[in-house]
Chain A
């Protein structure tokens, strides 16, 4: 008999979902249909970015949690692993809380596609993001996941010692357009691999830093997005908007390193290619992302 994880949808411990105080509830399906899943995250001040709202990396962490859980529920007793997220961001400034609603768009033998809408519940349900995520169906092996249905978990209380997103995720600036993340235990999902939301948070921070580094290089060097290697500033005043992430391979060892290339921009947006490597696993490429960085 393998391990049994019994959960109401919230995994025990001060994990990623608890950090964003993510509340979840299932919307039962009509007979023969697939369930939907909803969530709510309050947008605490220490999680806000330069855009005035929840940082996009943080938003996609909640998206990954809700969409991933719905995808998993739709294929039980099998489970899933996220393979891609495509996020179109309509608004960077939020009052909060944000409400998420996920539905299954397609359930195939090997993959599940989920669509999510995010609105600002505190501001007339204005649209915040439209996201499509794809998950690969996997055999859970000896692990048995049990959920009390319908899913319902209350919003966790505020943290007594609030940490900023970079601190919680262990994200630290490297040199120039390089940013690192330590793969701490609280960032692992039940399979022991880096949470997809942590990759989104890393891509967010790394891309903003890369644009700032590129601009600094424009004054002091070539400004080609890869130079100015001694620069160690932050991405203050910049915010991540649209983001695409391909989860190519699991990150199990760490630290993981985001290496960015600024591709150019138009109309106040700068596109950054972010390649993420697991340094502890022979520096292999684990994720490939693109982030549209905007001046906040």
Chain B
């Protein structure tokens, strides 16, 4: 999927090993193996990776529905209902509305076995582990002719296969500290993270927002084991130059940071190489899942 030659040989989507399938004119699914490298503190696949998965599902769906027009993700929301633990995690999307300038898609995330069946015994119609929505902005008539090998009426499969992650997915982002007190996160823009339009992939921005929020929550105090459960992402402009730097505003929440208490934050991502242009705003919700691993009995 994507423009010819995309993704390149070394790319995050390939290292995540995403497999996708168009199963009907308005339904797409994509699957990823749940590994420790992409796990959050509660053992479920972390929110930023799920956002990457559903963005791919939604983007594939939108590309088919909007062709020959080009589309870009305008917003993405993801809410985790329970930890997505696999063995595989599958995103399933469908078009809710196709308008003249926008397209809205909803997607569910499910635990499935290797053959694609529901992982929970007897759960043929099991509730999702997460629910997502996306809005895509449609730009008239300029989708690349090479932008898709999946005809709108034909079933199609594709996969991104790479060497795989060698460590935690966050390490693959090459993050560094930024800000006066090192309380912010900086991410260089590399081909490894780009979408087919040459900008940082929307899911990667969501993952960066998740990382920045966890850092902010941990620095604000409270017991460790922060798990991001909610992402509300507004894409305002593309990140093309870099580095992409976070600005974190912890917005409080209930309780003193004990297990089960919630926290909220607003993360702004700016493109420093574009004069500090605001590219993305992310509302983040998280829960403290318990003491840090080292403090557990």
Contact = CB atoms under 8 A, between A and B. Distances in A.
Q: Do A and B bind each other?
A: yes
B101 A88 contact: no
Interface stretch (A27-35, A63-71, A243-251): A243-251
Contact of B133 (A131, A262, A290): A290
Contacts of A110: 101, 137
B155 interface: no
Contact of B232 (A106, A132, A265): A132
B236 interface: yes
B28 interface: no
Given A87-B283, A267-B287, A273-B131, 14 more contacts: A88-B251, A90-B253, A90-B264, A91-B253, A105-B281, A132-B234, A134-B75, A136-B102, A225-B127, A246-B135, A262-B127, A266-B82, A271-B79, A290-B131
Nearest to A126: B252
A285 B96 contact: yes
Contacts of B133: 244, 246, 288, 290
Contacts of A106: 236-237, 278
Contacts of A77: none
B262 interface: yes
A26 B272 CA distance: 31
A159 interface: no
Interface in A257-272: 262-269, 271
B101 A265 contact: no
A160 B101 CA distance: 45
Contact-residue size bin, chain A (C-beta under 8 Å from the other chain):
35 or more
A242 B230 contact: yes
Interface string A81-108: 0011011111100000000000001100
Given A113-B234, A246-B96, A264 B127 contact: yes
A290 B77 contact: yes
A115 interface: yes
Nearest to A131: B283
A246 B103 CA distance: 11
A130 B249 CA distance: 10
B256 interface: no
A203 interface: no
A242 B106 CA distance: 17
Contacts of B82: 264-266
Contact of B97 (A90, A249, A265): A249
Chain B facing A: main interface SS: strand
Interface of A: 83-84, 86-91, 105-106, 110-111, 113, 115, 126-127, 130-132, 134, 136, 225, 242, 244, 246, 248-249, 262-269, 271, 273, 285, 288, 290, 292
Interface residues of B, number: 40
Contact of B252 (A90, A225, A246, A268): A90
B127 to A, nearest CB: 5
21 contacts: A84-B75, A86-B283, A87-B283, A90-B251, A105-B278, A106-B236, A113-B281, A130-B264, A134-B74, A134-B234, A242-B230, A244-B133, A246-B104, A246-B133, A248-B96, A264-B82, A266-B229, A269-B262, A271-B131, A285-B96, A292-B230
B222 to A, nearest CB: 14
B232 A88 contact: yes
B79 A292 contact: yes
A250 to B, nearest CB: 12
Nearest to A273: B131
B230 A268 contact: no
A184 B127 CA distance: 35
Contacts of A273: 131
B102 A88 contact: no
Given A127-B251, A249-B97, A264-B127, A88 B81 contact: no
Nearest to B289: A267
Contacts of A267: 229, 260, 262, 287
Contact of A86 (B232, B237, B287): B232
A132 B104 contact: no
Nearest to A92: B254
B188 interface: no
A163 to B, nearest CB: 30
Nearest to A115: B281
A266 B252 CA distance: 19
A105 B234 CA distance: 10
